Structure 1
């Protein structure tokens, strides 16, 4: 069934403006929307004066690595406004107004991220060179032009739970939860290691906080479908296992030109260890939705609590527990 035929002028299943919300916790998407409003920031307010001077002090290799991470973050943000439209429409078709509302905010925030990072690239004089850092990356092209596009645009004609799960895992858990946050971690390490780029520090802090909410919505979406049908958990795990090798390969592809000693002490293991460990934690939270009522999952803020916990631990080194969480993904369901 095509979504286009279900969204028509003057056709609404019902209006919810007069609905009593009761004295209960907000549904997860509604609370995420409120949190996003409270955390609103304007890229134009960030002072980038010192960042240009800092960039001039870097070696060619350091400049290349910095621009590599920023360019990939820009490409992630640029793809979202178009690629996420089928997901927005799917939520509208199902009359999930809170999810539809939150996804519109998510799309806006991704455009905002792109603006901020492009302003930073303009400030250091590298905007015209950014495509060079992404266009020749083979694994990156497979993730973004095949896996991500396929999973999201499949929702144009299929908004089944399986299709929604594959889209949420691909976009929210893998592209945002692994790739984007890994690039933000690297950017933050670059800034901290030298005490440079105060403007980029502020941009990264704002964007990472937004991305945490995006990831939480993906976890929530998987949880509500697992609560509705236990068999959906296998789809979450399968899609995750399909994509994790590509994540590892893409980060390796990005760092390969620098050899064993990348600038700023950045390494593939240090970037991927916490990211892959947190994938396991999110999957554990999805699994805990089994046997729950869907209305309970709707108002269970556990995905948001998990992302706040992960953020508090962000500066901690990757430990053995993170490794075990990743290994557990390979066990039979």
Structure 2
């Protein structure tokens, strides 16, 4: 496909669009280096952990590092779909996604190599529910955009990636790490990296809410598709949490399964309410709400 014009020499860039505002934040806040994080205290803490405490940490780490690798591998079709529509402001912001997801993969693997000395065979921690989401649903939804970048497929991809993988599972995982480690002042390097990573992911989720809101506002007939996709994937996401707790007779660090299921459902419900408000809204209204949202 050839070009007939360029936005930067015909209309310029709309710096007031929510994706461009997120791009500004990414340039300012997203430039951190996993190699700069000090793991010396983490190494001292790790050797004092019980076998079950180490096992729970490795379980979470194995799910995070594989999940970050999965989105790094599978993200390109979404960027391409947005680019093909000429949405240069959104594409500019999406270029930061790939860098950040790769950086998150780097961070978790570095901790696993230098602190946990985890080895490489960690797939035993990936339950059927986890595999259903990360081995099947995520690549399937995103790669469908290679052959059909319709609004329906864009909705399916963003729901899977931004709303469920990031908005439910990743955020619940951060909550687990901080609940385990913050109150006991353990693994400060891991906590530092996760706090920076969480900042990156909050921008990703904000864009996902914006993208889905824009698509639903323009294609209200796709609401049932969005709702079905979210409700279809939610049981597997909650199942991942249940699978983790089922490994232990006494859960390390005093974690309580109900707390994390409730947290996951709360995150899901919060985003679902935002998306419901997009039905029947104008694009100007979508942009205004996104700019005013806490994430932006």
Q: TM-score, normalised by structure 1?
A: 0.83
> Which sections of structure 1, spanning at least 5 residues, go unmatched?
1-7, 309-333
Q: Secondary structure at the match of 1:26?
A: coil
Higher relative contact order (CA closer than 8 Å, sequence separation 6+): 2
Which residue of 2 is the match for residue 91 of structure 1? 82
Q: How does 1:4-83 map to 2 (within 5 A)?
A: 8=1, 11-18=2-9, 19-21=11-13, 26-39=16-29, 40-83=31-74
Q: How does 1:317-332 map to 2 (within 5 A)?
A: none
Contact in 2 for aligned 1:66/1:190 (Cα 8 Å): no
Q: What is the Cα deviation at residue 120 of structure 1? A: 1.2
Distance 1:184 1:248 in 2: 15
> Which sections of structure 2, spanning at least 5 residues, go unmatched?
none
- Residues 295-318 of structure 1 deviation map (CA, whole Å, 9 limit, x = unaligned): 44245425x72447xxxxxxxxxx
- Residues 221-253 of structure 1 deviation map (CA, whole Å, 9 limit, x = unaligned): 110011112222222211110011111111111
Which residue of 1 is the match for residue 137 of structure 2? 147
Distance 2:57 2:190 in 1: 11
Q: Secondary structure at the match of 1:74?
A: helix
Which residue of 2 is the match for residue 215 of structure 1? 205
Which residue of 2 is the match for residue 184 of structure 1? 174
Residues 1:196 and 2:216 are matched in the alignment: no
Q: Secondary structure at the match of 2:247?
A: helix
Q: Could you tell me which of 93, 116, 122 is aligned with 1:102?
A: 93
User: CA 1:255–1:15 in structure 2 vs 1: closer, same or farther (change >3 Å)?
Assistant: same
Q: What is the Cα deviation at residue 125 of structure 1? A: 3.8
Q: What is the Cα deviation at residue 14 of structure 1? A: 2.7
Residues 1:269 and 2:258 are matched in the alignment: yes
Q: Secondary structure at the match of 2:281?
A: coil
Distance 2:4 2:287 in 1: 20
Q: Could you tell me which of 89, 109, 113 is aligned with 1:122?
A: 113
Report the number of matched residues: 294
Distance 1:13 1:70 in 2: 47
Contact in 2 for aligned 1:77/1:110 (Cα 8 Å): yes
Q: How does 1:241-256 map to 2 (within 5 A)?
A: 241-256=231-246
Distance 1:128 1:278 in 2: 33
Q: What is the Cα deviation at residue 58 of structure 1? A: 0.5
Q: Could you tell me which of 230, 238, 243 is aligned with 2:228?
A: 238
Q: CA RMSD in A?
A: 1.8
Contact in 2 for aligned 1:67/1:130 (Cα 8 Å): no
Q: What is the Cα deviation at residue 258 of structure 1? A: 0.6
Contact in 2 for aligned 1:67/1:133 (Cα 8 Å): no
User: CA 1:280–1:184 in structure 2 vs 1: closer, same or farther (change >3 Å)?
Assistant: same
Contact in 2 for aligned 1:26/1:299 (Cα 8 Å): no
Contact in 2 for aligned 1:27/1:299 (Cα 8 Å): no
Q: What is the Cα deviation at residue 131 of structure 1? A: 1.9
User: CA 1:20–1:299 in structure 2 vs 1: closer, same or farther (change >3 Å)?
Assistant: farther
Q: What is the Cα deviation at residue 263 of structure 1? A: 0.7
